[in-house]
Structures are given as C-alpha cells and as structure tokens.
Structure 1
Amino acid sequence: MVTTSIAGPLASSVRQLLDFAWTQTRACAFAIALLSGVAASALLPGLPVARYDLLVAYGVLLTLLFWLRGWENGRDVAVIAVCHVIGLAFELVKVSLGSWSYPEPAVLKFAGVPLYGSFLYAAVGSYVCRAWHLFDLELVRYRPRLTALVAAAVYINFFSHHWLPDARWILAGLLLVVTAGTSAHFTVRGVRRRMPLALSFFLIGFFLWVAENLATYLGAWRYPYQLDGWQPVGMDKIGAWSLLISVTVVLVAVTRQQHGRQKTEDAATVVEGC
C-alpha cells in the first residue's frame, strides 16, 4: 500500500521530467539541425563549394523552413535577425583579436569570419523564442530596465576586457542582484512551475558549453589551443555563456512585453467598441 502511494507521485515526476526534456529538445530544433548540418558537412567529400559557404546556404534554408512552417513567427525572426547582427559583431572583434578562428577557406568570409558564424548565435535566439512559446514562459517580478542595463554591460565587457580590466565577476554579481526574486514560470504537462531566472541562465550556459564542445569537435570553429588537435573547451566558458545568454533573454522579453501591451490595447479597443 505504501509502495503504491509512493510509486504514483514518482511516476508522475518521471513523466514530468521526460516531458520537460522533450519540450527542451523541441525548443533546440534549430540548433540541433544546424549542428547536424555541421557534422554532415564534415563528412562530405571534396566539393567545389567551401564547407562554410554551404553552411550559410543551409542556415538560410533552415530559417525559411522554420518561418514557413510556423515554428517561428515574424516577431521571432526579427529577434533572431538581431542575434545575427550582435553575433557577427562579436565574431569580428573576437576573431581579429585571436580569441578563436575559422581556419577553413570560404568565399562568404569577411575579416576571417564566415557568414555562417552568426547562425550559431541565431540558434541561441531561436531556442529562447521557441522555449518561450512551448513552455508558455512568463517572467514574474522581472526588472526589465535594470536587467537590460546589466545585460548590455555584459555584452560590452566581452569586448572591453581586452583593453580594460575584466568586470565579468562584478557584472555576474550585479546580474544576480537585479534578477533576485525574478522567476521564470513555465508549464509542463499542464502543471505550472517556476525557476529562478538566474538559475535558468546558469543551466542554459552549461548546455551551451556542452554544445560548444561538440561544435568545436566538428570543426565549427577552433580555439588557439585546438589548432593542433581538438581539446575540451575550458569550464570557464560556462560562466561566459551564462552571462551572455542574458542578452538574448532580454531581447526576447522586450518583444513579449510589447506584444502583451498590444494585446491589452486591442482588448481595450474591443471593449470600448462594444
């Protein structure tokens, strides 16, 4: 009798966990497809078109597919486009400073950065947008202005620390302060759950680090210590990704707030009309 009473809640928890994992996988669809393309391109025989250039075409086709299938709406595509721009700027500076490199040749390559590189950041934007939809995500007690200000400082610090003192630990502390009490509410199997926003940053950062190890192993790009043979990416990158993901979340949150205000205004107009 006792065993049965325990088994019920345990089975329910397992189903919740599996559903959560499956929904996360669906949210990662663009990233999974992109990395699969990188892996497949590494296995292709010699072609007249450079691998990096093929991946640009593949990334564009993926973007069109997700939009035409309705997996991402116009608002999502706009956010992802901003992620492209932010990512490309990030790549141009970091590659010029030797932080990492794209050693293979390509026609669609500018200042050492292949244009497909920005699709890696677009994949992160796609994940956040799709997760917002699939989990019916809502940020509670969110401080949009303060969080956006710290996120902007985080982004700038990834450039400025090459010439000025690195403020990432200070910014990490500030991010914890401005997100204190902020939680992400989401739905799994009809049950509403919540997670501290700061914890979600860390968990996403961890899985981005795992993805980065896979991507560098497949030759998506190379860190200097990987040029003579692949080596695991240092765990310090978990912290870097945990900070950088705040930029994407802030961007998506802005569009959701604007959409929410528009819905409220439309509803008010309907009521007035009645």
Structure 2
Amino acid sequence: MTTKNTTRRLERRLGDAMRRHLPRPITELVMFTLKQAWACLFGALMLLGLIVSDMIWQDSWALARYDALVIYAIALQAAFLILKLETLAEARVILLFHLTGTAMEIFKVNAGSWAYPEPAILKLYGVPLFSGFMYASVGSFMARVIRIFDMRFAPYPPIWMTFALGAAIYINFFSHHYIWDMRVFLFAATLLLFLRTRIWFRIAERDYWMPLPLAAFFTSFFLWVAENVGTGTGTWIYAGTDGLSLVSFAKLGSWYLLLYVSFVTVTLVMRDALIATPITKGRATPTEQSQAQSHPTD
C-alpha cells in the first residue's frame, strides 16, 4: 500500500469517528489542524530535540549537545523512510534542500549574521551539521503537506519562471552582503507570479482553496515562531542580540522568501500537482491533467 493510500485510510477512520460526535464545520477544522500537525512532524520533532536537549544537557557530558542533535536528526530521517512517512523521491529532493541550506548557513555564520556558540566535533566552518536538517524539515513539511492534503496548484505559472524566481531569491541571500538588497522586488515578484495561483486542498471529500501567497505568509509566521524556539534555547544567536529577545520581524520576510525556494525545489518531484489553467474544483479535469503533464516544458 502506498504512503498516500495509508494516509487517506487513517484520515477516513479518524474523520468518521469525529463526525459521529462533532458538527461538520468543527470536524473539518479539527481535521485541517491535525493534518497540518502531521505534515510538520519532522520539524516538530526537531524543535522538541532542541528544547529537551537544552533542558537536560550538561557541559561535563562526553558528547556535545550539537553532535547529539546530529545523531538525533539522522535517526529521525532514517525512521521516516523506514516507516514510509516520506518517499524516497521526497527524501532525495529534501536532501537537495538540506545541502543548499547548509551552504547558506556556512556563508551566513562566517558573514557574522548569526552564530552557534556551543562546541562540537561535527561542525563545518563553524556550522553544526544538524543545522541542515532544520532546513530539510521545511522541505519535509512542503512535500508531506502537498501529499497529505492532496494539493493542486492552479493556475500555475510557467515552470521556468518559478525556478528563475527561486534562484534569484537564493542568490539574494548571499549577494545582499555585497550589493543592494533586492528583497522588495522579490516580494513583488512572488505576488506577480503567484497572485492568481490557488492552492486547492482536500479534507475528507471536500475541496477548499487559498491563495498561494497568503498560505506562504501564514507558514512563514509559524516558521518565525519556530525560529524563536531555536534562539530561546540558545541553539543559535543572532548578531547584536542577547538570545533572549524575540527574533526580528524582518526574519519573517526572509522565511517568506525562503519558502518559495523550498516550494519550487519540492515541485521537482511533485509535478502532478501543478495545473497550468484555472480550475473551479480541487480535482482537475482530464484536460487539465493533460496540461499539467505538459507544463514542465513551458
């Protein structure tokens, strides 16, 4: 049985049980919340690891906290594959995001944007190797939420434009240290390119939709909250801060842009979810599905 079919079967059982006891609108709100929580399971477990390790770790222990987090993250990833919570195709593209995230971490740490203050053996140019798994958790959420909600994106812009935007955003994270910051224009580009794009998602047998930029904003807010967990546990410290104050709201904008990098990366293995023309229901017609298949050559 495929991962998607297993998820649907579990959802159906849970939904049927709740519908026997709750009004339908409340049931679907609860199902939406549970499915979102299930989709971000990897990220939630990583945050739990940061919190618990901060609470219990002793400087006298032989194993450094950062090194323990690397082992923990690898074990999590292995468990997700063994338990079929992620597919191999998803894991490969998440690995790509892991590598690009680690590269950015190395650059940012050495540029003085933030630092990892604790000692560790498994560090590369001042960056503990578990940090790449924090970026991978975003990719994991993207891949899992698309599959769990059976999402469709329509009308989806030409593929080459989305990858050009993702590349421009990624490059700007590096280049703004040397030249002017293009993020205002990149914010505008996300709206110009995706303003018409609806995310269609399914709860039980009903389809709902949300504008893609709005969904990106909401997701970036929760990532900003998660980042405050990291700074609150002292796992990383931003330059010029004491590690106790809230992360700047400007970082919310950074996460908003980084989400598009993650999203277009995940679409490498989820082309079936991309529909070139508008649809009025969450399920695309055969014609629209055909257009989706030809979309990558646009």
TM-score range, shorter chain: 0.7 to 0.9
Asked whether 1:104 is paired with 2:139, we answer no
In the alignment, the residues of structure 2 paired with residue 98 and residue 51 of structure 1 have an alpha-carbon distance, to the nearest angstrom, of 22
- The residue that corresponds to 1:52 in the other structure is 66
Asked whether 1:196 is paired with 2:211, we answer yes
Within 5 A, what are the aligned runs for 1:86-101? 86-101=100-115
Shift of 1:118: 0.5
Asked whether 1:155 is paired with 2:167, we answer no
In the alignment, the residues of structure 1 paired with residue 55 and residue 253 of structure 2 have an alpha-carbon distance, to the nearest angstrom, of 32
- The residue that corresponds to 2:40 in the other structure is 28
Contact preservation (8 Å) 1:147, 1:179: no
Asked whether 1:219 is paired with 2:219, we answer no
Taking a change above 3 Å as real, the CA distance of residues 135 and 193 of structure 1, as seen in their structure-2 partners, is: same
Within 5 A, what are the aligned runs for 1:72-221? 72-143=86-157, 144-221=159-236
Higher helix fraction (1 or 2)? 1
Asked whether 1:13 is paired with 2:13, we answer no
Aligned-residue RMSD, C-alpha = 1.8
CA offset digits 1:163-215 (Å, max 9, x no partner): 01100010110111011211111101321111111111111111100111112
* Structure 2 gaps, min length 5: 1-21, 275-288, 291-298
SS at match of 1:254: coil
TM-score calculated relative to the size of structure 2? 0.81
SS at match of 1:77: helix
Shift of 1:14: 2.2
- Give the letter for the 1:123 counterpart: S
In the alignment, the residues of structure 1 paired with residue 31 and residue 273 of structure 2 have an alpha-carbon distance, to the nearest angstrom, of 27
Shift of 1:35: 0.8
Q: Percent identity?
A: 38
Taking a change above 3 Å as real, the CA distance of residues 229 and 253 of structure 1, as seen in their structure-2 partners, is: closer
* Structure 1 gaps, min length 5: 1-9, 266-274
Contact preservation (8 Å) 2:93, 2:268: no
Asked whether 1:257 is paired with 2:255, we answer no
- Give the letter for the 2:121 counterpart: V
